[in-house]
Structure 1
Amino acid sequence: MKNLLNYMGVENDRVNFTWVSASEGARFADLITDLTGKVKAMGPNKGLFRKAE
């Protein structure tokens, strides 16, 4: 899946695949907080949208 997303222009660090059990609410919150921080730091994804020439 990551190869396909990379091919489409989605950078690897913008997507995270991991297993979290329903009983791991705190772990899920930590993962989401870390991921959103990384994505915000990366800024807009320039690979998906290109200006029309």
Structure 2
Amino acid sequence: MGRSPQRFLAPGDVLESWIEGVGEMRQSFVAAERPVVGDYANVRRTGRTSEAQS
């Protein structure tokens, strides 16, 4: 199942989904920030690194 060769989403890609008679949805993808080493628990709790919160 899937593409061959595989293709993964990258920053700048846009995923468009629609259901006829219901509507459409667009999702733009951006690069994730790299968490500070040892800051993983904070990222899981808040979704942001401590640097991003400052």
Using the size of structure 2 for normalisation, the TM-score is: 0.31
Of structures 1 and 2, the larger Rg is shown by 2
Using the size of structure 1 for normalisation, the TM-score is: 0.32
Which has the larger share of strand?
2
Q: Higher relative contact order at CA 8 Å, sep ≥6: structure 1 or structure 2?
A: 1
